Amino acid sequence: MTIRNGFTFNQVVPGTVRAWGYNYEGQCNIPGDLGPCAAVAAGEKHTIALRTDGTVRAWGYNGHGRCDVPLNLGPCTAVAGGDSHTIALRTDGALMAWGRNDYGQCNIPGDLGPCTAIAGGEHHTIALRTDGSVKAWGYNVWGQCDIPGDLGPCTAIAGGWYHTIALRTDGSVKAWGYNDAGQCDIPGDLGPCTTVAGGRRHTIALRTDGTVRAWGFNNYGQLNVPANLGPCTAIAGGAFHTIALRTDGSVKAWGYNEDGQCDIPGDLGPCTAVAGDYRHSVAIQR
C-alpha cells in the first residue's frame, strides 16, 4: 500500500520490515515476498534485510550492483550498508561485500579472520573480529581506517560518513577520522555505553541506563534528544537524523525531516530493530 508523501508499507506481520522517508529510488518499497526478517540496514539509497532463514535481500537504487546479492553468499547473521556498497556477515564469521569498490571497500582483507559484527561508512568497511579487535578498509583520506593503537578489545562498531566508532569492552566509546563538527570528540561525562551508531557527521551512543547521547553536527537538531524519549534498547543514524527504539518497542526519530524520515507511521506498532541512512528510516515490526 502506498500513501501520500511516498510512504510505502506492506502487510504487517511479525518480522515485517517497514520503511519511510525518501523513496525516489524505491528504497522504501518493501518486496512483497520478503517474508519475516531478523535484522535491517540501510545505505544511501538502498535498504538491506536479513531474513529469518539467514538469506539477504536488498532493494532500491542499484548503481554499482549494491542490491545484487551474491548467489554464493550463504546464510548470514548480520548486514550493513555503506553509501553505495553492501556488507554481510556469514554464519561462519566470514565477510562478503559488493557494490561500489573504487576505494577497495569491498576487498575483504585476506588476514581478517572470523568476525562477530560489521559496519559501513560512506566508502569504507569496518569489522569486529572474534578477538575483539577492529579492522577497517576502503577510503581513508581522513584516517577513518587507521585503528588507534590504544583501542583495545571492543564489543560494537559503527560507521559515519568519514569516521569510525567503536565501543570498548569497558563501555567507553572511541571515534576517529573526519572530525570537522566534533563527531569524534567523546563527551567527558558520557559514561559507560551498550552500543553506538553514526550519522553523516554526528555520533550516537546508548548508555547503560538506556539514555541516548549524540554529538557532532547539529544544524538540523539531530543531536537534540527528546526530553520525553525515555529508556531505549537500540539506536541508528541517518545522514542528518537520529532514530531510537524505546523499551516499549516504539520508535522515535528527530533531526532533518524534509522527506518525512522522522515521521513515525501511526500504525507502526512495537518494533525489534531500527536502521537509517541518508533520508530514510527502517524498522522491523514484531
Domains and CATH numbers, the chain: 37-139 (2.130.10.30)
Query: Residue 226 — pLDDT band, cuts 50, 70, 90?
Result: very high
| Maximum Cα–Cα distance across the chain | 51
pLDDT at 207 over 50: yes
Gap between the Cα atoms of 229 and 136, Å rounded? 33
pLDDT at 157 over 90: yes
pLDDT at 279 over 70: yes
| pLDDT > 70 fraction of the chain, expressed in percent and rounded | 96
Q: Can you tell me the mean pLDDT for 72-98?
A: 98
pLDDT at 9 over 60: no
Q: How many residues does the chain have?
A: 286
Give the residue from 254, 249, 256, 248 showing the smallest Cα distance to 274.
249
pLDDT at 20 over 60: yes
pLDDT tens-digit profile of 178-203?
A: 999 999 999 999 999 999 999 999 99
Gap between the Cα atoms of 273 and 233, Å rounded? 9
| pLDDT at 124 (0 to 100) | 98
Gap between the Cα atoms of 49 and 4, Å rounded? 24
Q: Can you tell me the mean pLDDT for 93-109?
A: 98
Retrieve residue 47's grid coordinates.
535498504
| pLDDT at 118 (0 to 100) | 98
Q: Can you tell me the mean pLDDT for 43-60?
A: 98
Query: Residue 120 — pLDDT band, cuts 50, 70, 90?
Result: very high
Average pLDDT, the chain: 95
pTM, 2 dp: 0.95
